[in-house]
Amino acid sequence: MTAPVAAVSPSSAVRTVALVGRANAGKTSLLMHLTGSLQRPVNFPGSSVECIESSVQVNTTLLRVLDLPGIASLQANSRDEAVALDVLQARGDGAPDLLCVVLDAAKLPVELAFLQQLRQLQKPIVIALTKLDVATKEGFPVDVVRLQQAIGLPLVAVHGITGTGTAELRERLVAEPLRATLPPAVSTPMPMQLPMQLPRSKRTVSQSTTDRLDRWLLHPWLGPLVLIAVVLAMFQLVFAIADPFIAWIEVVQDWVGGGIAAIVPAGAVQSFLVDGVVNGVGSSLVFVPQIALLIAFVTIVEATGYMARAVFLLDRPLRKVGLSGKSFVPLASSFACAIPAIVASRILGDERDRLATIAVAPLMSCSARLPVYVVLLAAFFPPHQAGLLLFLLYALGIVTAVLVALVLRRTVLRGGESMLMMELPAYQRPRFRLVLVHTWFAVKGFLRTAGTVILVATIVVWALGYFPRPAAIHLDFEGQRAQVPAGEAGDEQRARLDAREAGTYLEQSFLARIGRAVQPLFAPAGFDWRMTVGVLAAFPARELVVPTLGTLYSLGDVEASADAPDTRLSTELRTAKGPDGKPTMNGLVALAVMAFFALCSQCAGTLAAIRRETNSWRWPVFTFVYMTVLAWLAAVTIYQVGSWLGYGL
């Protein structure tokens, strides 16, 4: 019986095994089956740039498994390959006792040449042969027994989807002697010599399914159109599918808030629980369906192998701005989160390419920006326009990144060029379990943020927006309420007075004073003081935008009416009015706000990652400054030009 473990039993022996293989060989899937851990396997080169460790207890031995980034040879061409080679060439403590070499059965000639190099390390080797089904489907079936005899090393066939063969491999890794002498390798470094010795069946098909699909998907004209269609459909489906789930979450949010209001007497405690916690944090949780769907769709694209085709298609246009197709890998990762994307820039061999990619990666709209887009699109635009506008917002970041990269590569990062060398994996059916695992990782990270950073931030925002509470304001409105007729005839008037009282408290709060002090900077973009506070609160982390606005607009209730009886954030934004009685938000302001958040650098974690990867404060400071300036200019331009054209007024 085996199970993942977190600590070493005193009676356990420890054996360190390094999973070694080329990109897309199936190392990460094998790690999941070997140790029972959940990882994020994807199907395009450069997905792993750090060493991942997981452990499993096998009888009396603790098997410590290291999943190394994919390498193609014993010579590092990028930083991620250097990570793997440092582990393989280590000596003493921390060095692997055994190599588990993962070979792709569909690419045996290249894989066996790679194995020939690994034997030079003079370490015990056990081979895990993957993708036998793919090899058979492609017309190159493999005789496993004869292959093992030809190689002269322990070999176990494994299935990456079902895990078949993993138990046998696990036992073999534990039982394999850690001997210093290995079966003699072929001394002459002829990559094709060993494969030529292996009897293999003739190819049984004239053209594989992958080849047939690539004729169309890699076509110089049709290919880019298909890529655009895939991305546009993905964003449209995010809106279409998520709506019912959002409605359910909002029902729960209203039910919890109403229950608390019915139990807790009116006052600071009730406001803290309902306006601060439920409406603040709940305003973020309501967008979990969109985040989950977007991550799931991106994962499916990766898992099918289509992401590698996107890299190939975009290599030529990216090369014109000084990047390479490989830059698309970290840039695409930025749509989920910019932090791992910046780390993924290690796959780029040219240092100038890497720095330019790091500098523009935060311009890709990450999942933290999605709630801002969704709430504003839902408030001011009909559903049939929302998907297209969402696509254009993502496109805004992409186009801006291209222009910034072009400027950088022709000025401070002039010179150098990395070549695109990659293998296109065979198309595969997405594994439902792995899609769920990746999606759950993203949602769990967001929920962890909601339960910690967002919760603390909403409490601070609530306190600044709730206090002070001058008694004179309450006495004034109590006097006005006393003049309202009793019974149902005065209910509507009393509701208006309650909303005005809440708004008056908020207008003179500490938060309002801070917002008004900074608001002149954002007035040219049409932002009122509440939106300005949302912008300021979001600079540490973009996730704070929606809960901050949810708290602000809950504290200052909008005017109650039969058309807008609920207090959901979209309705509150659409119906909120300023002291002059005019709406503070409209479609034009919403566009300016979304453009600002699409381009602004509002993530301390991203800036810290840039600092780590560049080993300098110059690049994070430069990134923050140029993105903030661009965001302000874009928002001001949209609002001023739109106002001049009479749009949204």
Higher local confidence (pLDDT), 46 or 541: 541
Buried b vs exposed e over 69-86: b needs ≥16 C-beta within 10 Å?
bbbbeeeebbbbbebbbe
Higher local confidence (pLDDT), 204 or 377: 377
Grade residue 367 by pLDDT with cuts at 50, 70 and 90.
confident
Q: What is the pLDDT of residue 556?
A: 55
* DSSP secondary structure letter of residue 7: S
Q: What is the pLDDT of residue 566?
A: 34
| Rounded-to-integer distance, Cα 621 and Cα 629, Å | 12
Judge whether residue 629 has pLDDT over 90.
yes
Max mean pLDDT among 231-245, 330-344, 490-504, 598-612 falls in: 598-612
Higher local confidence (pLDDT), 433 or 181: 433
Every domain of the chain with CATH number 3.40.50.300 lies at 2-206
For the chain, how many helices (H) and strands (E)?
29, 7
Average pLDDT over residues 610-638: 92
Grade residue 635 by pLDDT with cuts at 50, 70 and 90.
very high
Q: What is the pLDDT of residue 239?
A: 66
Which tens digits make up the pLDDT trace of 385-406? 887 888 899 889 888 988 998 8
Q: What is the pLDDT of residue 323?
A: 77
Region of 91 on the Ramachandran plot (φ > 0 left; ψ -120 to 50 alpha; else beta): beta
Q: What is the pLDDT of residue 320?
A: 77
Q: What is the pLDDT of residue 598?
A: 92
Q: What is the pLDDT of residue 641?
A: 92
Grade residue 648 by pLDDT with cuts at 50, 70 and 90.
low
Grade residue 206 by pLDDT with cuts at 50, 70 and 90.
very low
Q: What is the pLDDT of residue 61?
A: 84
- H or E stretch covering 125: strand 125-130
Judge whether residue 262 has pLDDT over 80.
yes
Q: What is the pLDDT of residue 561?
A: 34
Q: What is the pLDDT of residue 10?
A: 47
Asked which of 15-19, 571-575, 632-636 is least confident by mean pLDDT, the reply is 571-575
Judge whether residue 558 has pLDDT over 50.
no
Judge whether residue 30 has pLDDT over 50.
yes
Sign of CA dihedral 31, 447, 46, 89: negative
Higher local confidence (pLDDT), 572 or 377: 377
Q: What percent of the chain has pLDDT over 90?
A: 13
Give the type of residue at 273.
L
| Rounded-to-integer distance, Cα 527 and Cα 519, Å | 7
Which tens digits make up the pLDDT trace of 269-302? 988 888 778 877 776 777 788 778 877 887 888 7
Rounded to two decimals, the pTM is 0.63
Grade residue 12 by pLDDT with cuts at 50, 70 and 90.
low
* DSSP secondary structure letter of residue 127: E
Judge whether residue 360 has pLDDT over 50.
yes
Judge whether residue 592 has pLDDT over 90.
yes
**Token pair listed for 158:** 């494994």
Q: Which of 155, 67, 442, 106 lies closest to 305 in space, CA to CA?
A: 106
Q: What is the pLDDT of residue 554?
A: 64
Please give the mean pLDDT across all residues of the chain.
Answer: 79
Higher local confidence (pLDDT), 476 or 11: 476
Average pLDDT over residues 200-220: 70
Which tens digits make up the pLDDT trace of 473-509? 888 888 888 888 877 777 788 877 877 777 788 778 8
Domain 2-206, second-level architecture = 3-Layer(aba) Sandwich (3.40)
Higher local confidence (pLDDT), 538 or 159: 159
Q: What is the pLDDT of residue 521?
A: 92
Q: Which residues lie closer than 8 Å to 148 by C-beta, 6 or more apart?
A: 127, 154, 155
CA distances from 104 to 45, 112, 142, 592 (A): 14, 9, 11, 50
Which tens digits make up the pLDDT trace of 51-87? 788 888 888 888 888 888 888 888 877 777 787 888 8
Q: What is the pLDDT of residue 625?
A: 94
Q: What is the pLDDT of residue 419?
A: 59
Q: What is the pLDDT of residue 179?
A: 63
Higher local confidence (pLDDT), 356 or 90: 356
CA distances from 149 to 50, 222, 520 (A): 34, 46, 77
- In terms of DSSP bridges, do strands 2-4 and 98-104 run parallel, antiparallel, or are they unpaired? unpaired
Q: What is the pLDDT of residue 420?
A: 59
Judge whether residue 189 has pLDDT over 50.
no
- H or E stretch covering 17: strand 13-21
Asked which of 393-397, 408-412, 433-437, 485-489 is least confident by mean pLDDT, the reply is 485-489
Longest dimension (CA), the chain: 101
Grade residue 450 by pLDDT with cuts at 50, 70 and 90.
low
| Rounded-to-integer distance, Cα 529 and Cα 516, Å | 5
Judge whether residue 174 has pLDDT over 70.
yes
Q: What is the pLDDT of residue 633?
A: 96
